[in-house]
Structure 1
Amino acid sequence: MTTSPLIARAQELADTLLVPNAERVDRAEVPASHLDAIRSSGLLGVSAPEAYGGAGAPDSVAREVQEILAGACCSTWFVQTQHHTPVRMLAKSELPVRERLLRPLATGELLAGIAYAHVRAFPRVVVRATAERDGWRFDGTVPWYTGWELNDVMLLAGITDSDEIVFAFADAREQPGLRASDPMRLAALTAARTVSLELDGLWLPESSVLLRTPQEQFALLDIPRSTNTSPAVFGVAYAALRVVAENGEPETAEALRARVDEVRRKAYDLADHPVPHEHVEERLTLRTRAYDLMRAATTAAVVSGGGRTMDLRSPAQRLAREGMFLLIQGQTSVVRRAHLDALSG
């Protein structure tokens, strides 16, 4: 594990705020006060440039922060984790929106969500972007948007008739051309306030655009990235193993922890590889193995606790449901195929 003031802050938040309230949050919704605590801690700027008020921390630190938050309260983790991709993209952008938004996002003044996972379903297009009046018009349905009424801004994407993806920022609120569904009732992470968004002529100015890129170019970067293992998988696995130990089964916990540690080390070594589109099959294998170990850890937490784990106040059942959610979070067709092939064969 890495030593860093940011990691220490994340651990303090986990121990004093997130873990003690995790079951209550799971049955209700992520409170704004949780996100305010993360904002004020500086964790929203963990990967942002120091010149814009961020910490400029290495990826190893950012991953460990995400592990800690996910293992403490996966619903809170899921809302705030959306924020980091827009920050990273802004840091690489040369468009005017960088100067307008990077600093408030890096410092936590603003919290961002993302509304673009649907572009991974290409060639199926559910949100169309059309050039109009020195800006862009968006029409269609965003199937999943997390953090509604918690986020300040969202990064939205649509696809043009020429198969170009347009990423642009919008205020995360109902407005002409944008309407949200009621929050979805889900088997896990209902607390994260996930909605679908109906877009009917939402117009955003050119100044809100973060990136325009051919779909093929986006896929070249996105597919390898999506084959890496999410730190949240390890965070939930470790949290479950702590429950196993607390339930009087330290030997089981230690045996599983050693296996999780090994896969974690290999997965992060590959995540740091300088060529992201290399070793894709190995990345997929490690991601699938991490899923297996997370599932083993959460199952061990349930089994070691016996009947009391069925109580909604038990962390074991919550972690098991959160693990189920992580099986499909960020899933692409490539990841799905690899996972199903591993399960069937």
Structure 2
Amino acid sequence: MDTAPHPLTGQARRLAEVLLAPHAQRVDQEGVPLSHIDALRGSGLLGTSAPTAYGGAGAPDAVAREVQEILAGACCSTWFVQTQHHTPVRLLARSDSPARDSLLGPLATGALMAGIAYAHVRAFPRVLVRATPQGRGWRFDGAVPWYTGWGLNDVMLLAGISDEAEVVFAFADARDRPGLEASPPMRLAALSASRTVSLTLDGLWLPDASVVLRAPQETWARHDAARGANASPAVFGVAYAALRLLEQASDTGTGGRALRARLDEVRRRAYALAEHPEPEEHVAERLSLRTQAYHLMRTATTAAVVAGGGRTMGLDHAAQRLAREGLFLLIQGQTAQARSAHLRSLTAAVDQLRWPPLEDSV
């Protein structure tokens, strides 16, 4: 880690070492427990990026990235539940909505925990959730394919698209109510522990005071694509966790050291670009570093499985859990632009392979 020491990174490491990592295998199979969420609420980590005036830490983005990296490497399921919280906090901090005064303080201190229900907006021009003005508020109709942390978080940031192609973001209580119904928890290839459900919206009405952002879809999509071009700290967290397993399982020699050195370099460059004052610049380089981080993560998690041998197929082994978590991170927060760049990089990697003649491989 290359950021200056900060109390929150120390807090994250203690939480990771004492609670999250020791129980990660059990959580993976049984689900994120409320006790993990309670520990996060009391740790101050939910207010990492929140303004100090509202009870948050107001920490630099570099600290926020390192905290997320530490948590993801310790228990990716718990990381995934709590990472949803930080987008609503950041959005409220920039907003002049009445929701800022009513919600930002409780979210910054951990008294409330937020989830997000807006990834479906990226499907535009398909509209999965319609937002319609109604009286002194908005009516939401449609289906949210993914909502993480059901039963663990208190409020959700919900988005829909209006007939005028405007994206409308509003806060709602994260519970079954008239107009809002959750499915049973999904069984996923990875991170089933995150209590992810789908939501059916049938006339869910939210008052104007709950609306935190309205923006043209085109404008929002441009900003979203810029954010989505950056490498996720969670990818580095899982990759480093896999490297630690690899180093414990075998003498990796120069190969292991080279992999770590390359991961360090990609991380350094990716985080430097994330600090750039113009988030919509250097998009091609951001996407390249994002895909390089993916390749390194998959190499590290695959190597950890190989080094562990047949034991890694047991559900109590960390290597296969990290491999599945890595698989999930390939599509987490994915935009169309990021997906296209990743697929191009995979095709290029195949083209660079030199296959032996058939007779030499038999």
TM-score range for the pair, normalised by the shorter chain length: over 0.9
Q: 2:259 aligns with which of 235, 249, 256?
A: 256
Task: Give the number of equivalent residue pairs.
Answer: 345
Residue aligning to 2:244? 242
Residue aligning to 1:291? 294
Please give the alpha-carbon distance, in whole angstroms, between the structure 1 residues aligned to 2:251 and 2:264.
18
Identity, % of aligned positions: 71
Matches within 5 A, 1:142-291: 142-251=144-253, 252-291=255-294
Q: 1:304 aligns with which of 302, 307, 313?
A: 307
Please give the alpha-carbon distance, in whole angstroms, between the structure 2 residues aligned to 1:253 and 1:46.
33
Unaligned runs of 5+ in 1: none
Taking structure 2 as the reference length, the TM-score comes to 0.94
Please give the alpha-carbon distance, in whole angstroms, between the structure 2 residues aligned to 1:52 and 1:29.
31
Residue aligning to 1:46? 48
Residue aligning to 1:36? 38
Please give the alpha-carbon distance, in whole angstroms, between the structure 2 residues aligned to 1:326 and 1:236.
9
Paired residues of 1:249 and 1:304 also in contact (CA < 8 A): no
| Cα deviation, residue 114, structure 1 | 0.1
Please give the alpha-carbon distance, in whole angstroms, between the structure 2 residues aligned to 1:141 and 1:184.
15
| Aligned-partner residue type, residue 331 of structure 1 | Q
Please give the alpha-carbon distance, in whole angstroms, between the structure 2 residues aligned to 1:185 and 1:114.
19
Residue aligning to 1:99? 101
Residue aligning to 2:73? 71
CA radius of gyration, larger in: 2
Q: 1:26 aligns with which of 3, 25, 28?
A: 28
Please give the alpha-carbon distance, in whole angstroms, between the structure 2 residues aligned to 1:333 and 1:213.
20
| Aligned-partner residue type, residue 89 of structure 2 | V
| Aligned-partner residue type, residue 96 of structure 1 | P
Unaligned runs of 5+ in 2: 349-362
User: 1:256-284 CA deviation, whole Å, 9 max, x = no partner?
Assistant: 11110000001011111111111111111
Please give the alpha-carbon distance, in whole angstroms, between the structure 1 residues aligned to 2:256 and 2:75.
20
Residue aligning to 1:116? 118
Q: Which runs of 4+ in 1 moved over 4 A?
A: none
User: 1:147-200 CA deviation, whole Å, 9 max, x = no partner?
Assistant: 000010000000000000110000000000000011000000000000000000
Please give the alpha-carbon distance, in whole angstroms, between the structure 2 residues aligned to 1:339 and 1:117.
19
SS where residue 97 of structure 2 aligns?
coil
Taking structure 1 as the reference length, the TM-score comes to 0.99
| Cα deviation, residue 220, structure 1 | 1.9
Residue aligning to 1:314? 317
User: 1:39-67 CA deviation, whole Å, 9 max, x = no partner?
Assistant: 10000000000010000000110000000
Residue aligning to 1:85? 87
| Aligned-partner residue type, residue 171 of structure 1 | D
Please give the alpha-carbon distance, in whole angstroms, between the structure 2 residues aligned to 1:253 and 1:191.
31
Residue aligning to 1:9? 11
Please give the alpha-carbon distance, in whole angstroms, between the structure 2 residues aligned to 1:198 and 1:165.
18
SS where residue 291 of structure 2 aligns?
helix
Please give the alpha-carbon distance, in whole angstroms, between the structure 2 residues aligned to 1:226 and 1:325.
16
| Aligned-partner residue type, residue 203 of structure 2 | G
Please give the alpha-carbon distance, in whole angstroms, between the structure 2 residues aligned to 1:234 and 1:253.
15
Please give the alpha-carbon distance, in whole angstroms, between the structure 2 residues aligned to 1:235 and 1:131.
42
Please give the alpha-carbon distance, in whole angstroms, between the structure 2 residues aligned to 1:272 and 1:249.
36
SS where residue 139 of structure 2 aligns?
strand
Residue aligning to 2:142? 140
Paired residues of 1:242 and 1:253 also in contact (CA < 8 A): no
| Cα deviation, residue 255, structure 1 | 2.1
User: 1:225-256 CA deviation, whole Å, 9 max, x = no partner?
Assistant: 00100000000000000000111335343221
